[in-house]
Amino acid sequence: MLFPKLKMVVIYVEYDLEKYPSSFEHLKSYLSKVGGERIRYIRVNNKDTGTGSRNLGDNTIYLQGSNVDREFSGWQRGIEFVRSSNVKFDVVLFVNEAFEATGASYLKNSNINWMILKSHVLGAVIGFIDTRWEKIRLNNRGVRIWINTNCFFVPHSLLTKMSTIITVDNSCMSKYLPEQFPSDGELFELTAPINNAYKNHMVEWITEEWHNKIDLNDRTWPIFRSKVKAMLNEASLSIRIRELGYIILPYSIPMFVYRKIRGAFRKAKKAVLQERRGSIKDAFLSSTNDIER
């Protein structure tokens, strides 16, 4: 059961129902330990283009979506529905259909209540953390550490400060990539605001490591551009999170770190019950000593 008064909205985006036929059911089974009466599911189908919605029962709303910005446009559709419907929540869990593509989800054996409480009390975005040793840069900002956006928790207060979670859309993609496959030239525009290390990382990921990896040619160029856009949005989101004063935390905190901060967390837990959020948040952040780094 969730801690008193804490409610969560899950915005789940799907597109390839044939490849991930049971993804949504797996997600709901992992979250069942939380308590269904405090969770509202928003299921967005990006392949079913449109603006319609219907109630599926079991605290689940189905939305037609748009895949123009891949999962990000689906998540934005969900956010707008939640806002227009005046749905009350403390934390949002953003998920896409491929959240188990690289293995069993961390949600399967996790204390979901612990993550909800951390996100709410600390103003933290929580998920799997991606890192690179190279000095990769986007718009003159470092992005060595970023949140993996296939499954992540976001506090309500952060969303109130963001009108959209989309940073890079089709209107500005020409800054990064030409519209046609450059068979005899550079893949990226020479003036693209990303360094060579980041360009190399994106090419290697999409062509060698991605679960839908592709060969680069005329036919696959639209897929490449779409995936680059999603990766730019993923990195940009982490940059915006930090610039708004929020922290990024991994799903789990190492035990040696937890031992150092458990006293502060107990105070934070008590503060939730007493609704004394602000001062405890400051104390907890001080105790963690920037553990997201």
Angle of CA points 195, 200, 201, to nearest 5°: 100
- In this structure, are 176 and 99 located in the same domain? no
The answer on 156 and 63 residing in a single domain is yes
Percent of all residues in the chain with a pLDDT value above 90, rounded to a whole number: 57
Query: 2 lies in a domain?
Result: no
* 204 and 65 fall within a common domain: no
pTM equals: 0.84
145-160 pLDDT, tens digit each: 889 999 999 999 999 9
Rounded CA gap, 245 and 181, in Å? 39
pLDDT score at 182: 92
Give residues with Cβ within 8 angstroms of 5, minimum separation 6. 90
Q: Are residues 44 and 147 in the same domain?
A: yes
Q: Does position 277 have pLDDT exceeding 60, yes or no? A: no
The verdict on residue 128 lying in a domain is yes
Please tell me whether residues 203 and 140 are part of one structural domain.
no
CA separation for the pair 106, 98 (Å, rounded): 13
The percentage of the chain sitting over the pLDDT mark of 70, rounded to a whole number, equals 83
Tell me how far apart the alpha carbons of residues 24 and 168 are, in angstroms, rounded to a whole number: 27
190, 96: one domain: no
Q: Which residue has the higher pLDDT, 192 or 103?
A: 192
Q: How large is the average pLDDT for residues 187-208? A: 93
Give the pLDDT band (50/70/90) at residue 84.
Answer: very high
18 and 36 in a single domain? The answer is yes
Task: Inform me whether the pLDDT recorded for 180 exceeds 80.
Answer: yes
Residues 138 and 277 in one domain: yes
Are residues 179 and 133 part of one domain? no
Say if residue 2's pLDDT is above 60: no
pLDDT value at position 189?
A: 93
Residue 273: CATH number of its domain: 3.90.550
How buried is residue 278: exposed, middle or buried, by Cβ count under 10 Å (0-12/13-18/19+)? exposed
What is the pLDDT of the chain when averaged over all its residues? 85
Which structural domain range is residue 39 located in? Answer: 8-167+237-288
Number of domains within the chain: 2
Query: Tokens 């690179």 appear where?
Result: 132
Segment 211-266, tens digit of pLDDT: 889 999 999 999 999 999 999 999 999 999 999 989 888 887 654 554 454 555 55
Indicate whether 181 belongs to any domain. yes
At 267, the pLDDT band (50, 70, 90 cuts) reads low
Does residue 101 have a pLDDT over 80? no
Whether residue 1 is predicted with pLDDT greater than 50 in this model: the reply is no
Which range is least confidently modeled, 15-19, 64-68, 167-171, 231-235?
15-19
Average pLDDT value for residue range 130-152 = 86
Q: In this structure, are 66 and 204 located in the same domain? A: no
134 found inside a domain: yes
**62 and 83 co-located in one domain:** yes
Stretch among 90-99, 134-143, 223-232 having the lowest mean pLDDT: 134-143
